[in-house]
Amino acid sequence: MAITHREFDYIKGLIKQEAAIVIDTGKEYLVESRLMPLAQKHGLASVKDLVDNLSKRDNQQLVTQVVEAMTTNETSFFRDFYPFEALKKKVIPDLIANRSAAKELVIWCAATSSGQEPYSLAMLIKENFPQLATWRLRIICSDISEEMLERTRSGVYNQLEVNRGLPVSLLMKYFKQDGTRWIVKDDLRRMLEVRLVNLAAPWPHLPQVDLIMMRNVLIYFDQVTKVSILKHAYDQLKVNGVLLLGSTETTINMNLSYQVQQYEKLSYYSKL
Amino acid sequence: MRALVIDDSRAARMAVSRILKSIGFDVVEAENGEQALDILNKDETITVAMVDWNMPIMNGYEFVKLVRRSDKFREVMLVMVTTENEMSQVVKALSAGANEYVMKPFTDEVILEKLEMLGLRL
């Protein structure tokens, strides 16, 4: 049974309030497909029943689960390919040159989803920058969803997920097989620090960082929230630090202090 | 660019060919390794072969080994596309000279991303 306008508007309002994420009209199918499995998990027959339960406002855990279900995004290893080429050839070498005295590099993947991005970054570093083995390297990965963070911690991926974007040589080197599941080896998993962060709410204490990966997450926020997040991100960066956004996202026309840089197809943003 | 799709299943050949054609490849097809080797010997414009493992007459693993024995084909990229999903099999294919490996089932994106990794997106 298709969801009604009332149910859609309720979910839309809830997600806006809890996560500052805007679900556009026309995405009713998305609400239904994401929430029906959750409704069934709770023994409910429909999304309508789920909305009725939510309306009672006495089950914060259910609210959290709805937010998580609605904000889980598609991801893959080395997503879009060229940003990782730019990281390898330009962004990380520049950061290494700038930080060679302190020998410290702090990276923050701010919308880590199920972990493919930070693991891609960890593999890229191990493969291309062996000198960082003697540095203090931190890869902090955060997400709004506890479920996604647990997936990141576990490092377990199915066959289709490891098919997506991951060179097979890296699959052989950094994963072990368990039937049709592939599990990230411990030395790579140990490189990640996992934190729960809602980008639209006040951020918990985080260190000053050299590189922020905030790709394909701003698209879900309204303009006011986007600007606020980008300002916070600027404050979080060290001088000469770099922000990477998704290909359709930008800081341009937001009256922010970032310096736009270009490397081949990639635009990225520096704090000078 | 020209691609060779090798699979004894017509449906599987069509699935891979459709994806390759969608990004501008010319595609030729073969039903087994022996036929594929014959085509490869006659057609020097082929840049990539998508190779199933289990086929009659000559399987994909034998095909990869034979192709890699010849210096003439050193520029040809070889991508295994197979239901063989054991790590030991993947290692075997890579040792024989396969450049990439796709485990069936796959989506369009899987094939497109593998081609991009190999620098083969048009």
Ordered DSSP codes for B12-41: HHHHHHHHHHHTT-EEEEESSHHHHHHHHH
Q: Is A172–B90 a contact, with Cβ atoms under 8 angstroms apart?
A: yes
How big is the A-B interface in CB pairs under 8 Å?
40
The stretches in chain B having pLDDT less than 70 are 122
**In this complex, is the C-beta atom of B110 within 8 Å of any C-beta atom belonging to chain A?**
yes
Structural domain contains residue A31: yes
Instruction: Tell me what pLDDT residue A152 has.
Output: 96
Q: Are residues A105 and A60 in the same domain?
A: no
Q: Are residues A172 and A99 in the same domain?
A: yes
Structural domain contains residue B122: no
Cα(B2)–Cα(A132) distance, integer angstroms: 41
Instruction: Tell me what pLDDT residue B109 has.
Output: 86
Q: Is the peptide bond before A93 cis (omega within 30 degrees of 0)?
A: no
Q: Considering A71, A95, A111, which residue would you say is the last residue of a domain?
A: A71
Instruction: Tell me what pLDDT residue B122 has.
Output: 55
Q: Are residues A91 and A25 in the same domain?
A: no
Q: At what angle do helices A146-154 and A60-71 cross, to 10 degrees?
A: 60
Q: Are residues A10 and A93 in the same domain?
A: no
Give the domain range for residue A227.
82-270
Q: What CATH number does the domain containing B111 carry? A: 3.40.50.2300
Give the domain range for residue B112.
2-117
Instruction: Tell me what pLDDT residue A2 has.
Output: 75
Structural domain contains residue A215: yes
Cα(B68)–Cα(B72) distance, integer angstroms: 9
Nearest to B109 among A162, A164, A176 (CB): A164
ipTM: 0.90
Q: What are the backbone angles phi and psi of residue B19, rounded to the nearest 5°?
A: -65, -45
The stretches in chain A having pLDDT less than 50 are none
Number of structural domains chain A divides into: 2
Cα(A29)–Cα(A32) distance, integer angstroms: 5
Chain A contact set for B101 (CB, 8 A): 168
Q: Are residues A261 and A145 in the same domain?
A: yes
Instruction: Tell me what pLDDT residue B15 has.
Output: 94
- Closest-CA distance, B79 to chain A, in angstroms, reads 10
Structural domain contains residue A77: no
Number of structural domains chain B divides into: 1
Q: Are residues A166 and A219 in the same domain?
A: yes
Mutate to test the interface with A, among B50, B78, B85 (most CBs of A within 10 A): B85
- Closest-CA distance, B87 to chain A, in angstroms, reads 7
Q: Are residues A154 and A28 in the same domain?
A: no
Contacting B residues, span 85-104, partner chain A, CB-CB under 8 Å = 85-87, 90-91, 94, 100-103
DSSP characters for A235-268? Answer: HHEEEEEEEEE-TT---TTS---PEEEEETTEEE
